Structure 1
Amino acid sequence: MTIDATDRRIIAATQGGLPLVPAPYAAVAAGLGMKEDVLCARLREMQAQGVIRRIAVAPNHYALGMVANGMSVWDVEDGQIAELGTLVGALDYVSHCYERPRALPAWRYNLFAMIHGASREAVEDKRQAIAALLGPACRAHDILYSTRILKKTGLRLRPKEG
């Protein structure tokens, strides 16, 4: 997986977010001196190669009224984690869901899902709904509540040296 100078310029131009204009890709392309279709093709190719994972909105949940945000953690059967993670990740109140290795004996959890709600009570109700969805494949669960936003950006490329 390698990127050339043009890919690096595209990443640098988009890593801080797309401009809030009616045609954001056209604006980025114009700023880079290329055509919009070329920019989009290169973004798709970088995504296909795994250079970039996705292009997505990163909302400020607090500004949207979602002031209770909790990282729920689940101890689920390893053989069912892909299927169950897909179900949990599809819930409209889960912003991201992923598998992580256990760190036994201290940390038994292998499925993580960020739950958002207007109150802790609402998040707890959603957590109980997830527990019901997971059923007997879930042996234990817990939640860690956010108290502030620490990071809302993805990876940043440093300028290439030399």
Structure 2
Amino acid sequence: MTPLSSPFIASHAYPASQRLRSLLEHGLPLTERPWQALAEQCGMSEGEVLAWVERWQGEGLIKRMGLVVRHRALGIRANAMVVWDLPDATVAEVGRRLAAEPAVTLCYRRPRRLPDWPYNLFCMIHGTRRDRVLGALDEIIERLGLQAIPHRVLFSLKAYKQCGGRYTREEQS
């Protein structure tokens, strides 16, 4: 049995895997072979890096890998969070339909926080200008028949630093 397949040996027993986990928190290198680049930084082979990532996915340590787009740097500065107050019986179906809209970049359900916050579905629409974002929203509302659904449009006023989850201490990096 190899160390990677042993259920009795924790990943913290391997300094190279700790280094890999720390590096993954900062994102994949922008290179043709990101797994190979990580392997070189950790003193592993590319196959070992992929085996650790697969193991961590299987264990639930890595649930998903995504992409953080620095949209403001691309000129996309009109970013609206649209919050919806949908009947609980329809929120899942409307959420699926909204998520399928090309203008919607993110869509998810959250619990209401009554009495102040009745909204249970959230979606993001990004654009270069507010009028275009609002126009896209109007088209979505018309297409999906959401005219009677209470909602609010909240435009971003400030860009915050975006990053993925952090699971290691900085000194391990």
TM-score range, shorter chain: 0.7 to 0.9
Q: Any residues of structure 2 matched to 1:1-162 within 5 Å, and which?
A: 4-5=11-12, 6=14, 8-135=18-145, 139-159=149-169
Structure 1 or 2: larger strand share?
1
The offset of 1:36, in angstroms, is 1.8
In the TM superposition, residue 92 of structure 1 has moved relative to its aligned partner by: 3.1
Unaligned segments of structure 2, at least 5 residues = 1-9
Cα distance in structure 2, aligned partners of 1:132 and 1:45: 46
* CA 148–123 in structure 1, closer or farther in 2 if over 3 Å, else same: same
Report the CA distance shift for 1:24/1:118 in structure 2 as closer, same or farther (over 3 A).
same
Quick check: 85-94 or 120-129, which moved more?
85-94
Q: What count of residue pairs does the alignment treat as equivalent?
A: 159
The one-letter code matched in structure 1 to 2:24 is: T
What is the root-mean-square deviation in Å for CA atoms of aligned residues? Answer: 2.5
Q: State the match for 2:7 in structure 1.
A: none
Q: Give the Cα separation in 2 of the matches to 1:131 and 1:8.
A: 48
The question of whether the paired residues in 1 share the 8 Å contact of 2:80 and 2:124 is answered with: yes
The 10-residue stretch of structure 1 (19-28 or 123-132) with the greater mean CA deviation from structure 2: 123-132
Q: Structure 1 vs Structure 2: percent identity of aligned residues?
A: 38
TM-score, scaled relative to structure 1:
0.83
Q: TM-score scaled by structure 2? A: 0.79
For the residues of structure 2 that align with 1:15 and 1:129, how far apart are their CA atoms? 38
Which segments of 5 or more consecutive residues in structure 1 lack a partner in the other structure? none
Larger Rg: 2
Distance change >3 Å, CA 103–CA 126, structure 1 → 2 = same
